[in-house]
Amino acid sequence: MPNSDLLPSLLLKINENQLALEAAIMELTPWIEQQGATQVGGNERGALQTIDKNEEFIKMTLALLITPE
Protein backbone atom coordinates (compact mmCIF):
# COMPACT_ATOMS: atom_id res chain seq x y z
CA MET A 1 0.00 0.00 0.00
CA PRO A 2 1.51 3.34 -1.02
CA ASN A 3 2.06 5.92 1.69
CA SER A 4 -0.50 8.24 0.07
CA ASP A 5 -3.17 5.58 0.68
CA LEU A 6 -2.47 5.81 4.41
CA LEU A 7 -3.24 9.52 4.64
CA PRO A 8 -7.05 9.25 4.85
CA SER A 9 -6.80 6.56 7.56
CA LEU A 10 -4.29 8.63 9.48
CA LEU A 11 -6.47 11.74 9.33
CA LEU A 12 -9.51 9.73 10.42
CA LYS A 13 -7.64 8.41 13.47
CA ILE A 14 -6.38 11.89 14.35
CA ASN A 15 -9.95 13.17 14.13
CA GLU A 16 -11.18 10.34 16.37
CA ASN A 17 -8.51 11.27 18.93
CA GLN A 18 -9.57 14.91 18.74
CA LEU A 19 -13.21 14.01 19.38
CA ALA A 20 -12.22 11.81 22.32
CA LEU A 21 -10.21 14.67 23.82
CA GLU A 22 -13.14 17.02 23.26
CA ALA A 23 -15.43 14.64 25.16
CA ALA A 24 -12.96 14.42 28.05
CA ILE A 25 -12.62 18.21 28.25
CA MET A 26 -16.40 18.60 28.17
CA GLU A 27 -16.71 16.28 31.17
CA LEU A 28 -13.95 17.97 33.16
CA THR A 29 -14.87 21.61 32.50
CA PRO A 30 -17.90 21.86 34.82
CA TRP A 31 -15.99 20.15 37.62
CA ILE A 32 -13.02 22.50 37.22
CA GLU A 33 -15.35 25.50 37.32
CA GLN A 34 -17.04 24.14 40.46
CA GLN A 35 -13.60 24.04 42.09
CA GLY A 36 -13.33 27.78 41.56
CA ALA A 37 -11.04 27.80 38.54
CA THR A 38 -13.39 29.83 36.38
CA GLN A 39 -10.62 31.28 34.20
CA VAL A 40 -9.37 27.77 33.38
CA GLY A 41 -12.95 26.72 32.65
CA GLY A 42 -13.34 29.69 30.33
CA ASN A 43 -10.16 28.78 28.51
CA GLU A 44 -11.40 25.21 28.09
CA ARG A 45 -14.74 26.43 26.75
CA GLY A 46 -12.87 28.58 24.22
CA ALA A 47 -10.89 25.54 23.08
CA LEU A 48 -14.12 23.55 22.77
CA GLN A 49 -15.62 26.29 20.61
CA THR A 50 -12.63 26.06 18.27
CA ILE A 51 -13.08 22.29 17.98
CA ASP A 52 -16.79 22.76 17.25
CA LYS A 53 -16.10 25.45 14.66
CA ASN A 54 -13.65 23.23 12.76
CA GLU A 55 -15.52 19.94 13.11
CA GLU A 56 -17.81 20.31 10.08
CA PHE A 57 -14.92 21.20 7.76
CA ILE A 58 -12.92 18.24 9.03
CA LYS A 59 -15.85 15.86 8.48
CA MET A 60 -16.43 17.12 4.95
CA THR A 61 -12.74 16.87 4.06
CA LEU A 62 -12.46 13.36 5.47
CA ALA A 63 -15.55 12.31 3.50
CA LEU A 64 -13.91 13.56 0.29
CA LEU A 65 -10.62 11.80 1.04
CA ILE A 66 -12.20 8.50 2.05
CA THR A 67 -14.86 8.26 -0.68
CA PRO A 68 -13.60 5.97 -3.43
CA GLU A 69 -13.46 7.46 -6.91
Q: pLDDT tens digits, residue range 18-56?
A: 999 999 999 999 999 999 999 999 999 999 999 999 998
Q: What backbone phi and psi angles, to 5 degrees, belong to 35?
A: -80, 0
Looking at residue 67, what DSSP letter applies?
Answer: S
SS3 of 33-46: HHCCCHHHHHHHHH
68 burial (CB, 10 Å; 0-12 / 13-18 / 19+) is exposed
**pLDDT in the model for residue 27:** 95
Select from 57, 28, 56 the least CA-distant residue to 44: 28
Write down the pTM of the prediction.
Answer: 0.74
Domain boundaries, the chain: 3-66
